[in-house]
Amino acid sequence: VLPAPDFSAGKTYVYKYEASIMSGLPDEGLARAGLNVSSKILISAVHENTYMLKPLELIINEYNGIWPKDHPEPVGKLTAAMTPELNIPIKFEYSNGVVGKVFAPEGVSDLVLNFYRGFLNILQLNIKKTHNVYDLQEAGTQGVCKTLYSVNEDVKADRILLTKTRDMNHCQERISREMGLAYTEKCDECQKESKNLRGSTSYRYILKPVPSGIMILEADVNELIQFSPVSEHYGAAQTETRQTLVFLEIQKSPIAPVSAEYHHRGSLKYEFSKEFELSPLQLVKVTDERAQTEELLNHLVTHNAEKVNDHAPLKYLELIQLLRLARYEDLEVLWSKYRNMPSHRFWLLEAIPAIGTSAAVRFIKEKFQAEDLSVAEAVRTLVAAVHMVKANPESIKLFETLTEDNKIDANPVLREIVFLGYGTMIYKYCEESDVCPVEYIKPIQKRLSEAVSKGETEDIILYVKVLGNAGHPSSLKSITKIMPIHGTAAASLPIPVHIEAIMALRNIAKKEPRMVNSRALPTILKYPPHPLISKLILGLISFW
């Protein structure tokens, strides 16, 4: 009979913990980056099934160089920045070898909490009393994945040897996040042959039976995650994680609690932090944000007057990263200083859409309304902003207000960019969000209805394209009303309208193929023979 791991009340268990995470390509002689962490870990019981955890003597080393010839270097500033939070112990539920809820004060960031989860993942042990070899779907930091256990007792040595392997390719629930992929299409059939993201984790434990249960003496963890954006059997980028845990001693003094209110902060599963939504491509040491921004602008203007300098891409990335730290008011200050300097103005307008924040859209909107931007500049910056700015309720609202702007409405090119961009922003937001409010698309549905009643063909086509870009399932009714399904009124519309309506259903068909096909099939039967219409409808049916 194998009891579960236990940490007895009135004692503090001290472990030596080391972890390393390394990312890069698998071949030697190429760049890799990662961190090495070492510390002591203290665990003590608070009350039944609830424990406190605290790290001590944290040391962080950074690896950033050519593998394997370069060596890790100390990162004193990162250690100093994390230490105040790591001095705050967290609490966690632990019963029968299963980690439950995690509790921490508000002062502990998601980043530090995920560090704790990485350690707690080692404690997750679903030991069955009646089997030596078995598998189950087990919860971990990566989700709920298939895990194979093998348990062997060494009676003479009074030890239990346990190994488990977690297959992250077979998960009931997988913790992952796709960023910047709103325009890509998933191929489920391709994933059956070769997965873009694949990985596994192996665990090896040495356990010791004790009167209260079993005690973890040693643990070794090796995890390998591979990613390839296309079908590639060799050379996929990989992240390799290694963890070791060694028991040191038992202390009688408990972990000293802190005077703070503890809140439920999730479970063992990894939680994505908003801190890295705009991860820098180029790390910049920021001392004086405004002064550094102006220095970079001057450098780009001075060294790229006649031909592009070799350092221009690097300096441009640094400029973007600094501008991402800027508030809208900071952009105003820069603009007021450089608006009448053509070269500086050019580089500033090139960089602002790449910031990727709502402040960029607001800046473009207000400068155009104030007639500070020419039509050509507005076209260039708005097109870039549609694809570079992160879609969120604020940026969507800004684009919606632009659709109502009289100056935008008076220029056909800008009007088309803004309206189609509005639909694209909705699509990008809904692709990465669990909730896609129908309120975002209702203004366009209303405009389409009015345009149909007035017989305004150009507006009908534009609004249908917007609904197609957005791909919201609620638009299906509005689009099918202008197809020859509902009688002669729709049939009397020009063929180009029907063509755009069918094409607009494509993004909806990716989400709701059965619903779309139930509307497309009657059209094939009722619509007068037309080669292009039939071909487009058959293309829709292929989504089923």
Give the three-state DSSP class for 68.
coil
pLDDT band at 233 (very low <50, low <70, confident <90, very high): low
Mind listing the pLDDT tens digit for each residue in 252-303?
Answer: 988 988 889 999 999 999 998 765 555 555 566 778 889 999 999 999 999 8
User: What are the beta bridge partners of residue 147?
Assistant: 136, 166
pLDDT score of 525 more than 60: no
Residue 235 has pLDDT above 80, yes or no: no
- 19-34 pLDDT per residue, tens: 999 999 888 899 899 9
Q: Tell me: the pLDDT tens digits for 348-363? A: 999 999 999 999 999 9
Task: Out of 231-240, 327-336, 509-518, pick the least confident.
Answer: 231-240
Q: Is the dihedral of CA 147, 150, 153, 159 positive or negative?
A: negative
- Strand-strand pairing, 98-104 and 213-227: unpaired
| Distance (Å, whole) CA 514 – CA 304 | 54
Token pair for 110: 């998601």
Q: Quick one: tokens of 165?
A: 């392997």
* Per-residue confidence (pLDDT) for residue 75, from 0 to 100: 86
Using a pLDDT cut of 70, give the percent of the chain over it.
90
Q: How many CA atoms lie within 13 A of 237 on its CB side?
A: 12
φ and ψ at 332, to 5 degrees? -60, -45
Is the torsion defined by CA of 277, 264, 58, 225 positive or negative?
A: negative
Whether the ω angle into residue 68 lies within 30 degrees of 0, i.e. cis, is yes
Report the topology of domain 12-272.
Lipovitellin-phosvitin complex; beta-sheet shell regions (2.30.230)
Token output for 46: 């608070």
Q: Coil, strand or helix: which one is 54?
A: strand
List, for residues 175-192, the tens digit of each pLDDT value: 987 776 667 777 777 776
* pLDDT attached to residue 380: 96
| Tens digits of residue pLDDT in 60-83 | 999 989 999 999 999 888 888 888
Asked if pLDDT for residue 498 goes beyond 90, the answer is: no
Say whether pLDDT at 221 is over 90.
yes
Q: What local confidence, expressed as pLDDT, does residue 179 receive?
A: 72
How do strand 90-95 and strand 237-251 relate by DSSP bridges?
unpaired
What is the rounded average pLDDT of the residues 423-451?
93
Would you state the pLDDT for residue 1?
45
- Mean pLDDT, to the nearest integer, of 86-115? 94
- Indicate if the pLDDT at residue 215 is higher than 80: yes
**pLDDT tens across 156-174, in order?**
889 999 999 999 999 999 9
Whole-angstrom CA distances from 150 to 135, 164, 255, 256, 387 are 9, 6, 34, 37, 50
The rounded distance, in Å, linking the Cα atoms of 438 and 295 is 45
Q: 178 near 143, Cβ under 8 Å?
A: no
